[in-house]
Structure 1
C-alpha cells in the first residue's frame, strides 16, 4: 500500500498542522473583530446545486458520484452555493445585513499546480442585505487587515480593484454590443498573461473595430484619475465613477488606501459578479491570487430564492501559506511544552507524587508532560529536553526541605514546599508567556 496521500491532497503532520492552525487562528481572530459570525454546512451536497450555478461543464472538475439513495451528489468545490441555500432558507428571519464566515475544506478534481491543489481550506466571508458601497469597503478592508495580521505590508501585497458596472458603462459608451461583452471580459482577464497581438485578434474576432480594440487594450494602463478625466462626463459612465469615488473615500477613511490599485483588467472569472470586484496579489508576482471576491447581487435569487444584494470573498490556505513561508513570516503555533515533571530516583517506582503534581499543574492551566514508565532521573531530564520543555519540576514528596524543585536554564533552582504554591507560581509564568 502506498504511504503517500492521493495526488493533490496533503498530510498534516504536527508541524504542518501547527502552521495551518496559525492561519486559521489569524483568520478567525480578525474576522470576528469585524463582527462576523461563523457557520458551516455539509461537505456533500446535491450535484444540481453546482450545475445550477456553473452549468453541466462543472462536473468534470468535481468529485461526484451517485450515493446509495440514487442521488447525484458532489463533494463541495466552493462554499457560496451552500451559503446561498442556507441564507435563502431563513432569509425572512435573519437580521440584516447578514455577516457570516466559514472555513470549509473544498474539493476540485483539477490538475495540481503551484498554489492549487485538489483540496484546500478557504476562508469565506459574505455580507448579505446591503447594497451601499460602504459594505464593499468594509469587506476589502478586512481582507487587508488579515494581511497586516500575518505581518505583510503594502510593499508585499496589493489589492487590485475594479467595478463591473463601471466597465459595462465604458463598453456601452464605446458602442460595443452587449453580446460582445463576455469576449471583452475574457481578453481583459488575460491581458497580462497573453501576447498583445493575441488579445487584439480575439477582440477583432468579437467584432470590435481596430480603434475600439486599441482603447480596450489600453485599459490596463489607466488609473482612476485617468478614467475620470477621459470619461467623467459620459452619461453611461459618470454614475459609476461617482459611486467608485465614494468607495475610494471610504477606503481612505478605513486606512487601507495605500494598498489599493485601480485596475480595469480585474473582472473575475466567475460570471455572477455584478459590481465592485477585487483580487489581492503579492507585489513580486510570484504566486497566484491570494484572495478574490466582490459583489454578486443576483446570485442568491438564482440559487437560494432570496432576492438580496450580496458580496463576499474567498482566501485559500495554500497560497497564503506559500507566501508566508517565502517571506519568513509563517508562525508555527504548536503546543509549547512548559513543564516536564521528573520523579526523584528514590520515588521512581512510586509515581503518585509526580502524577498528582502533573494533575494539579494541568488544572492550573499549564502544559505538562512526564515519562510514562519508571526511569532514572537523568533519562527523565534528557527526555524533557528532547521534548522542548521550558522548565523541569523535580518531585520528591518524601523530602521536607525541597519536595518540589523547579529548574530552568539561566535561573537558580526554585524550591516550593506546597503544591498550591508551585501551581500558583507556574500559572503566573504561563500567563506572562501568553
Structure 2
C-alpha cells in the first residue's frame, strides 16, 4: 500500500528536514516577540464557507461526523484565528503577536509546490492599525527566509496596497460591488492572455494596463519601504502594484515572496485584513488584523535547489541526529553495569545508545561512528574500570566506573 495522492510519508531524514524548518520558523518568530498558539484541526464547514463562500467546499476534506455535524479538516488558519480572537480578545493586551505551526488539508489537484496536505507557519498581528505593524510583519517574513541562508539575491518580497487600487476604482467611478471582480482580473495579469485581460477590463483596460506597465505611486508603500530601509532590509523588497492577492478580504498592504529566479510558486503571502474578524464574528468584534502564511512545501523545494541552503540544512540535521555517547558492551556479564550507567547518563541529558543484543566489539565501534557519537565507553575485562575513547582523536583512557560522569562532562 502507498500513501494517498498528495500526502507524504516522513522517513527519519524527512522528519529531520521538517524539524529544521519548524525550528527556524519558531526561533525567528519568538525573537520578534511573537507567541505560539494553535487551534483544532477540525472545524465546522460553515466557518470556511462564511469566509470564502460555498464554492470552498469543493476544495475541502469535509464530512458529516457521528453527531450529524458538517465538519472539515482545516484548509487554512485565518478563520480559526478570527473565531478564537472574537471569543478571547478581551483576555489579552493589544496588539496580539501570534504565530502557529500546523498541518492543513486541501482537496485539490496536486502539482509541484502544492500537495493535499502541508505544514504552514502563520504569523499575525491583531489590534493595530499603524503602518508600523505592516513594516514589522514584512520584516519578520524577510528574517524568516533569511534564517535559511537566503539573501536578497535569492528572494524578493513584492509589496502592494489594495487601497491604491480601490482609490483608483473610486476615481474611475466604478461601483464598489464590481471592485472584487476587477481586482481578480488584475491579480491574474500575466497568467492570462493580454487580450482576455483587456476584454474583462473593458473601458478600464487602458488606464489599468498603463499602471501595470509603468507602475503606480503610493505614499504608504514608500513609507513602508523607508521603514524596512531603516532596518537594512530594503534590498529584499520591490513595490509591485500587480500584486493584489486574489482573496477579497484583504483591505490594505499585501505582499508575496518569490524566489528571484522565478522557478517556484510563492514562498509566502499575506497582508492586512481589517474587516475579516468582524465579518466572521457576525459583527460581535471589530478589530484590525494582518498576517501571512508560509508553507513547508515550496520552501523545502527552494532549500533543496539552493546549494548553500541545502548544505546548511544537511549540516544542521546531521548534528541534530548525532548521539553523544555509545556504550560498547564487550562482555555480556557487564551488561547490567552498563545499563545502570546508561540510565545515569541519560538522566543528565546525554544522548546515549548501546547494542540491544550481543555483538562483536568491532561492529559496536563501527555503529558508534555511524551514529556520530563523540565518545565510546567500553565495558569489558577492565572492570571496575571502563575504557573511554574519544572517537575523533582515538585517544583512550581507563576510568573507574564511578567517575564516568565527571570524565564525560570534561570531554563533551
- Report the TM-score range of the alignment, normalised by the length of the smaller protein: over 0.9
Q: Out of 242, 245, 252, which is 2:219 matched to?
A: 242
Q: How does 1:196-275 map to 2 (within 5 A)?
A: 196-204=194-202, 208=203, 212-223=204-215, 227-228=216-217, 241-275=218-252
Contact 1:124 1:312 in 2 (8 A): yes
Choose which of 331, 337, 343 in structure 2 pairs with 1:353: 337
Per-residue CA deviations over 1:170-228 (Å, capped at 9, x if unaligned) read: 23234444344333312221212222222212212xxx2xxx412312333334xxx34
Give the corresponding residue for 2:362.
378
Aligned alpha-carbon RMSD (Å): 1.9
Measured at CA, do residues 31 and 428 of structure 1 come closer, stay the same or move farther in structure 2, by a change above 3 Å? Answer: farther
Deviation, 1:117, is: 0.5
User: Is the contact between residue 334 and residue 379 of structure 2 (CA under 8 Å) also seen in structure 1?
Assistant: no
Match of 2:15 among 10, 14, 17: 17
| Post-superposition CA distance 1:324-368 (Å, at most 9, x none) | 111032415242122211023xx3233122212222222232211
Gaps of 5+ in 2: none
Aligned partners of 2:192, 2:409: CA distance in 1, in Å?
A: 60
Deviation at 1:30, TM superposition (A): 0.4
After TM superposition, the structure 1 = structure 2 runs for residues 348-427 of structure 1, keeping only pairs within 5 Å, are: 348-396=332-380, 398-399=382-383, 402-420=385-403, 422-427=404-409
Q: Distance in 2 between matches of 1:219 and 1:415?
A: 78
TM-superposed CA distance for 1:429, in Å, is: 4.5
Verify: 1:71 aligned to 2:55, yes or no.
no
Say how many residue pairs are matched. Answer: 403
Aligned pair in 2 of structure 1 residues 182, 341: CA closer, same or farther (>3 Å)?
A: same
Work out whether residues 135 and 228 of structure 2, in 8 Å CA contact, stay in contact via their aligned partners in 1. Answer: yes
1:325 paired residue number: 304
Q: Are the aligned partners of 1:338 and 1:366 in contact in 2 as well (CA < 8 Å)?
A: yes
Partner SS state of residue 146, structure 1: helix
Is 1:133 equivalent to 2:141 in the alignment?
A: no
Rounded to whole Å, the distance in 1 between the matches of 2:321 and 2:144 is: 23
| Deviation of the 1:397 alpha carbon | 7.2
Contact 2:322 2:371 in 1 (8 A): no
Distance 1:361 1:131 in 2: 53
User: Among residues 37, 55, 73, which one is paired with 1:57 in the alignment?
Assistant: 55
- 1 CA distance for matches of 2:86 and 2:179? 30
Aligned position for 2:327? 341
1:231 aligns with none
Q: Which residue number in structure 1 is paired with residue 253 of structure 2?
A: 276
Q: Which runs of 5+ in 1 are unaligned?
A: 229-240
Structure 1: which 4+ aligned runs deviate by more than 4 Å? none
